[in-house]
Structure 1
Amino acid sequence: MDENVIKQIQREGADALLDVGVSVPLKAFRLPFRKNPVVLRVTMKRPYLSGQIRFARTYLSLGVTSEQMWNFGKEEEMNFIAWHGKELGRMIAYTICRGWWSRHLLLWPTAWFVRNFMEQQYLVGAVKRFVSLMGTDPFIPIIRSAEMTNPMKLRLSQKRKGS
Protein backbone atom coordinates (compact mmCIF):
# COMPACT_ATOMS: atom_id res chain seq x y z
CA MET A 1 0.00 0.00 0.00
CA ASP A 2 1.00 3.59 -0.56
CA GLU A 3 2.49 5.40 2.46
CA ASN A 4 -0.12 8.18 2.26
CA VAL A 5 -2.97 5.66 2.26
CA ILE A 6 -1.52 3.94 5.33
CA LYS A 7 -1.20 7.26 7.16
CA GLN A 8 -4.78 8.20 6.20
CA ILE A 9 -6.08 4.86 7.52
CA GLN A 10 -4.15 5.30 10.76
CA ARG A 11 -5.45 8.85 11.16
CA GLU A 12 -9.08 7.77 10.58
CA GLY A 13 -8.66 4.84 12.95
CA ALA A 14 -7.25 7.08 15.66
CA ASP A 15 -10.04 9.62 15.19
CA ALA A 16 -12.64 6.87 15.42
CA LEU A 17 -11.01 5.42 18.55
CA LEU A 18 -10.79 8.82 20.19
CA ASP A 19 -14.35 9.66 19.11
CA VAL A 20 -13.27 13.09 17.94
CA GLY A 21 -16.01 13.60 15.39
CA VAL A 22 -16.24 15.92 12.41
CA SER A 23 -17.28 19.53 12.80
CA VAL A 24 -19.60 20.57 9.97
CA PRO A 25 -21.03 24.03 9.27
CA LEU A 26 -24.80 23.81 9.49
CA LYS A 27 -25.99 27.34 8.76
CA ALA A 28 -24.33 30.74 8.34
CA PHE A 29 -26.26 33.75 9.63
CA ARG A 30 -25.55 37.32 8.63
CA LEU A 31 -25.94 39.77 11.48
CA PRO A 32 -26.08 43.54 11.04
CA PHE A 33 -22.94 45.49 11.91
CA ARG A 34 -20.81 42.38 11.69
CA LYS A 35 -18.26 41.82 8.95
CA ASN A 36 -18.21 38.00 8.96
CA PRO A 37 -21.27 35.77 9.21
CA VAL A 38 -21.92 33.75 12.35
CA VAL A 39 -21.61 30.06 11.52
CA LEU A 40 -23.67 27.51 13.41
CA ARG A 41 -21.61 24.29 13.54
CA VAL A 42 -22.42 20.81 14.77
CA THR A 43 -20.08 17.95 15.59
CA MET A 44 -20.95 14.67 13.97
CA LYS A 45 -19.65 11.68 15.93
CA ARG A 46 -19.89 7.96 15.42
CA PRO A 47 -23.24 6.86 16.90
CA TYR A 48 -23.52 4.23 19.59
CA LEU A 49 -24.39 0.68 18.51
CA SER A 50 -28.15 1.16 18.27
CA GLY A 51 -27.62 4.33 16.25
CA GLN A 52 -25.07 2.53 14.06
CA ILE A 53 -27.62 -0.20 13.37
CA ARG A 54 -30.23 2.39 12.37
CA PHE A 55 -27.62 4.26 10.30
CA ALA A 56 -26.68 1.02 8.53
CA ARG A 57 -30.32 0.11 7.86
CA THR A 58 -30.98 3.53 6.37
CA TYR A 59 -27.80 3.34 4.27
CA LEU A 60 -28.63 -0.14 2.99
CA SER A 61 -32.14 0.99 2.04
CA LEU A 62 -30.57 3.53 -0.36
CA GLY A 63 -29.38 0.73 -2.65
CA VAL A 64 -26.01 2.31 -3.45
CA THR A 65 -22.47 1.30 -2.53
CA SER A 66 -19.80 3.54 -1.05
CA GLU A 67 -17.70 3.29 -4.23
CA GLN A 68 -20.64 4.43 -6.33
CA MET A 69 -21.18 7.40 -4.03
CA TRP A 70 -17.53 8.49 -4.33
CA ASN A 71 -17.72 8.22 -8.15
CA PHE A 72 -20.94 10.24 -8.56
CA GLY A 73 -20.93 12.97 -11.19
CA LYS A 74 -22.88 16.18 -10.65
CA GLU A 75 -26.03 14.86 -12.37
CA GLU A 76 -25.96 11.59 -10.44
CA GLU A 77 -25.37 13.41 -7.16
CA MET A 78 -28.32 15.75 -7.73
CA ASN A 79 -30.55 12.82 -8.71
CA PHE A 80 -29.44 10.91 -5.62
CA ILE A 81 -30.25 13.87 -3.36
CA ALA A 82 -33.64 14.32 -5.02
CA TRP A 83 -34.61 10.70 -4.40
CA HIS A 84 -32.91 10.07 -1.05
CA GLY A 85 -32.62 13.51 0.61
CA LYS A 86 -34.85 12.60 3.53
CA GLU A 87 -32.80 9.49 4.32
CA LEU A 88 -29.53 11.46 4.03
CA GLY A 89 -30.83 14.02 6.53
CA ARG A 90 -31.83 11.22 8.90
CA MET A 91 -28.40 9.58 8.60
CA ILE A 92 -26.69 12.84 9.52
CA ALA A 93 -29.15 13.33 12.40
CA TYR A 94 -28.12 9.88 13.73
CA THR A 95 -24.53 11.13 13.98
CA ILE A 96 -25.58 14.34 15.77
CA CYS A 97 -28.19 12.82 18.12
CA ARG A 98 -26.22 9.88 19.50
CA GLY A 99 -27.84 9.14 22.85
CA TRP A 100 -31.13 7.37 23.51
CA TRP A 101 -32.99 10.46 24.70
CA SER A 102 -31.67 12.78 22.05
CA ARG A 103 -32.37 10.24 19.32
CA HIS A 104 -35.97 9.76 20.46
CA LEU A 105 -36.70 13.42 21.12
CA LEU A 106 -34.54 15.37 18.69
CA LEU A 107 -33.93 13.09 15.68
CA TRP A 108 -36.80 14.27 13.49
CA PRO A 109 -36.36 18.02 14.20
CA THR A 110 -32.60 17.67 13.61
CA ALA A 111 -33.17 15.78 10.35
CA TRP A 112 -35.62 18.47 9.23
CA PHE A 113 -33.15 21.23 10.10
CA VAL A 114 -30.34 19.44 8.24
CA ARG A 115 -32.52 18.96 5.15
CA ASN A 116 -33.66 22.57 5.09
CA PHE A 117 -30.55 24.49 6.11
CA MET A 118 -27.39 22.45 5.48
CA GLU A 119 -25.60 23.14 2.22
CA GLN A 120 -25.66 20.34 -0.35
CA GLN A 121 -21.88 19.91 -0.55
CA TYR A 122 -21.62 19.37 3.21
CA LEU A 123 -24.60 17.02 3.23
CA VAL A 124 -23.17 14.61 0.66
CA GLY A 125 -19.58 14.95 1.93
CA ALA A 126 -20.60 14.15 5.50
CA VAL A 127 -22.55 11.06 4.47
CA LYS A 128 -19.65 9.83 2.31
CA ARG A 129 -17.18 10.29 5.16
CA PHE A 130 -19.31 8.53 7.76
CA VAL A 131 -20.18 5.62 5.48
CA SER A 132 -16.45 5.03 4.97
CA LEU A 133 -15.80 5.24 8.75
CA MET A 134 -18.59 2.86 9.74
CA GLY A 135 -16.81 -0.29 8.56
CA THR A 136 -13.98 -2.23 10.18
CA ASP A 137 -11.48 -1.86 7.32
CA PRO A 138 -9.54 1.05 8.88
CA PHE A 139 -8.93 -1.01 12.04
CA ILE A 140 -7.40 -4.08 10.37
CA PRO A 141 -3.82 -2.66 10.26
CA ILE A 142 -4.21 -1.44 13.84
CA ILE A 143 -5.31 -4.88 15.00
CA ARG A 144 -2.39 -6.52 13.19
CA SER A 145 0.00 -4.03 14.79
CA ALA A 146 -1.45 -4.76 18.24
CA GLU A 147 -1.01 -8.49 17.65
CA MET A 148 2.65 -7.95 16.79
CA THR A 149 3.29 -5.87 19.91
CA ASN A 150 1.83 -8.37 22.37
CA PRO A 151 3.32 -7.51 25.78
CA MET A 152 3.24 -11.16 26.86
CA LYS A 153 5.39 -12.30 23.95
CA LEU A 154 9.18 -12.53 24.48
CA ARG A 155 11.16 -9.77 22.79
CA LEU A 156 14.18 -10.43 20.59
CA SER A 157 16.60 -9.22 23.24
CA GLN A 158 15.01 -11.37 25.94
CA LYS A 159 15.36 -14.80 24.29
CA ARG A 160 18.70 -15.65 25.93
CA LYS A 161 17.92 -14.64 29.50
CA GLY A 162 14.17 -15.26 29.41
CA SER A 163 13.40 -12.17 31.48
Structure 2
Amino acid sequence: MADAVTHAVTIRHNFETAHRLPQLGGKCQNLHGHSWWTEVTVSAPAMPEHIVIEFGAFKRGIRQWIDTYLDHGTMLGADDPLVPALQAQGSRLYRFGAANAVPAEKHAADLAWPTVESVAVLLGRVGAEVLAGMESAPGARITAVRVEETSVNAASWTR
Protein backbone atom coordinates (compact mmCIF):
# COMPACT_ATOMS: atom_id res chain seq x y z
CA MET A 1 0.00 0.00 0.00
CA ALA A 2 1.42 3.40 -0.99
CA ASP A 3 1.74 6.20 1.51
CA ALA A 4 -0.97 8.84 1.25
CA VAL A 5 0.30 12.06 -0.30
CA THR A 6 -0.84 15.52 0.67
CA HIS A 7 0.04 18.56 -1.40
CA ALA A 8 0.38 21.89 0.40
CA VAL A 9 1.14 25.53 -0.24
CA THR A 10 1.95 28.17 2.34
CA ILE A 11 1.72 31.93 2.11
CA ARG A 12 3.49 34.30 4.49
CA HIS A 13 2.61 37.88 5.43
CA ASN A 14 3.57 40.41 8.08
CA PHE A 15 1.67 43.17 9.83
CA GLU A 16 2.19 45.72 12.59
CA THR A 17 -0.47 45.60 15.29
CA ALA A 18 -0.80 46.52 18.95
CA HIS A 19 -2.63 44.50 21.57
CA ARG A 20 -2.85 44.07 25.29
CA LEU A 21 -3.80 41.22 27.58
CA PRO A 22 -4.97 42.70 30.91
CA GLN A 23 -6.39 39.37 32.04
CA LEU A 24 -2.85 37.93 32.19
CA GLY A 25 -1.25 40.61 34.33
CA GLY A 26 2.46 41.27 34.00
CA LYS A 27 3.96 43.33 31.22
CA CYS A 28 1.43 42.18 28.59
CA GLN A 29 -1.33 44.07 30.40
CA ASN A 30 0.21 47.21 28.88
CA LEU A 31 -0.72 48.29 25.37
CA HIS A 32 2.20 47.25 23.15
CA GLY A 33 2.85 46.41 19.53
CA HIS A 34 4.52 43.66 17.56
CA SER A 35 5.77 43.02 14.07
CA TRP A 36 3.60 39.95 13.53
CA TRP A 37 4.31 37.30 10.89
CA THR A 38 1.81 34.70 9.79
CA GLU A 39 1.98 31.62 7.61
CA VAL A 40 -1.23 30.04 6.33
CA THR A 41 -1.07 26.57 4.76
CA VAL A 42 -3.62 25.05 2.39
CA SER A 43 -3.44 21.29 1.79
CA ALA A 44 -5.21 18.97 -0.64
CA PRO A 45 -5.12 15.19 -1.12
CA ALA A 46 -4.82 15.55 -4.91
CA MET A 47 -4.16 18.25 -7.48
CA PRO A 48 -5.71 17.31 -10.81
CA GLU A 49 -4.85 20.68 -12.38
CA HIS A 50 -1.31 20.54 -10.92
CA ILE A 51 -2.06 23.23 -8.33
CA VAL A 52 -3.59 23.27 -4.86
CA ILE A 53 -4.69 26.90 -5.21
CA GLU A 54 -3.56 29.86 -7.26
CA PHE A 55 -0.96 31.53 -5.01
CA GLY A 56 -1.61 35.09 -6.19
CA ALA A 57 -5.34 35.09 -5.49
CA PHE A 58 -4.92 33.41 -2.09
CA LYS A 59 -2.14 35.80 -1.05
CA ARG A 60 -4.20 38.79 -2.14
CA GLY A 61 -7.22 37.61 -0.16
CA ILE A 62 -5.30 36.99 3.08
CA ARG A 63 -3.17 40.11 2.78
CA GLN A 64 -6.13 42.34 1.95
CA TRP A 65 -8.03 41.15 5.01
CA ILE A 66 -5.04 41.58 7.34
CA ASP A 67 -4.11 44.97 5.91
CA THR A 68 -7.72 46.20 6.16
CA TYR A 69 -8.55 45.03 9.69
CA LEU A 70 -5.32 44.45 11.62
CA ASP A 71 -2.31 46.26 10.16
CA HIS A 72 -1.39 49.45 12.03
CA GLY A 73 -4.35 48.95 14.34
CA THR A 74 -5.07 47.57 17.78
CA MET A 75 -6.52 44.23 18.83
CA LEU A 76 -8.37 44.25 22.15
CA GLY A 77 -10.85 42.12 24.04
CA ALA A 78 -14.35 43.57 23.64
CA ASP A 79 -14.55 44.16 27.41
CA ASP A 80 -11.25 46.06 27.54
CA PRO A 81 -11.83 49.55 28.98
CA LEU A 82 -9.59 51.01 26.23
CA VAL A 83 -12.15 50.09 23.52
CA PRO A 84 -14.38 53.19 23.90
CA ALA A 85 -11.39 55.55 24.01
CA LEU A 86 -9.85 54.14 20.82
CA GLN A 87 -13.22 54.08 19.07
CA ALA A 88 -13.80 57.72 20.02
CA GLN A 89 -10.48 58.61 18.40
CA GLY A 90 -11.37 56.79 15.19
CA SER A 91 -8.48 54.35 15.63
CA ARG A 92 -8.44 51.07 13.72
CA LEU A 93 -9.66 48.55 16.27
CA TYR A 94 -10.36 44.84 16.04
CA ARG A 95 -12.33 43.43 18.99
CA PHE A 96 -12.12 39.83 20.16
CA GLY A 97 -15.16 38.39 21.95
CA ALA A 98 -17.57 41.09 20.79
CA ALA A 99 -21.23 40.12 21.32
CA ASN A 100 -22.23 42.87 18.90
CA ALA A 101 -19.47 42.08 16.43
CA VAL A 102 -19.28 43.96 13.17
CA PRO A 103 -19.06 41.53 10.21
CA ALA A 104 -15.25 41.43 10.15
CA GLU A 105 -15.14 40.61 13.87
CA LYS A 106 -17.32 37.49 13.48
CA HIS A 107 -14.18 35.37 13.15
CA ALA A 108 -13.17 36.25 16.72
CA ALA A 109 -16.58 36.49 18.40
CA ASP A 110 -15.87 33.39 20.54
CA LEU A 111 -12.25 34.34 21.30
CA ALA A 112 -12.14 36.59 24.35
CA TRP A 113 -8.67 38.14 24.07
CA PRO A 114 -6.08 38.71 21.32
CA THR A 115 -3.49 36.22 22.51
CA VAL A 116 -1.11 34.93 19.85
CA GLU A 117 -3.00 31.62 20.03
CA SER A 118 -6.30 33.38 19.35
CA VAL A 119 -4.77 35.34 16.47
CA ALA A 120 -3.74 32.00 14.90
CA VAL A 121 -7.33 30.75 15.18
CA LEU A 122 -8.63 34.03 13.75
CA LEU A 123 -6.34 33.87 10.73
CA GLY A 124 -7.23 30.21 10.17
CA ARG A 125 -10.88 31.22 9.95
CA VAL A 126 -10.07 34.13 7.64
CA GLY A 127 -8.01 31.77 5.46
CA ALA A 128 -10.93 29.33 5.26
CA GLU A 129 -13.25 32.13 4.16
CA VAL A 130 -10.79 33.30 1.49
CA LEU A 131 -10.30 29.71 0.30
CA ALA A 132 -14.06 29.11 0.09
CA GLY A 133 -14.35 32.01 -2.37
CA MET A 134 -11.83 30.71 -4.90
CA GLU A 135 -11.11 27.73 -7.09
CA SER A 136 -8.93 25.08 -5.53
CA ALA A 137 -8.04 21.42 -5.78
CA PRO A 138 -10.76 19.05 -4.51
CA GLY A 139 -10.60 18.66 -0.74
CA ALA A 140 -8.37 21.72 -0.26
CA ARG A 141 -8.57 23.16 3.23
CA ILE A 142 -6.60 25.24 5.70
CA THR A 143 -4.43 22.80 7.64
CA ALA A 144 -1.99 25.03 9.52
CA VAL A 145 -1.52 28.59 10.67
CA ARG A 146 1.57 29.88 12.40
CA VAL A 147 1.67 33.34 13.98
CA GLU A 148 4.85 34.92 15.33
CA GLU A 149 4.43 37.95 17.57
CA THR A 150 8.18 38.28 18.12
CA SER A 151 11.24 36.53 16.73
CA VAL A 152 11.14 34.13 19.69
CA ASN A 153 7.38 33.70 20.42
CA ALA A 154 4.92 31.94 18.14
CA ALA A 155 1.72 29.95 18.24
CA SER A 156 0.27 27.56 15.71
CA TRP A 157 -3.06 26.05 14.83
CA THR A 158 -3.11 22.78 12.89
CA ARG A 159 -5.78 20.50 11.59
TM-score interval for Structure 1 and Structure 2 normalised by the shorter chain: under 0.3
TM-score (norm 2): 0.27
Q: TM-score, normalised by structure 1?
A: 0.27
Q: Please tell me whether Structure 1 or Structure 2 has the larger radius of gyration of its CA atoms.
A: 1
Q: Which has the higher helix share?
A: 1
More strand by share: 2
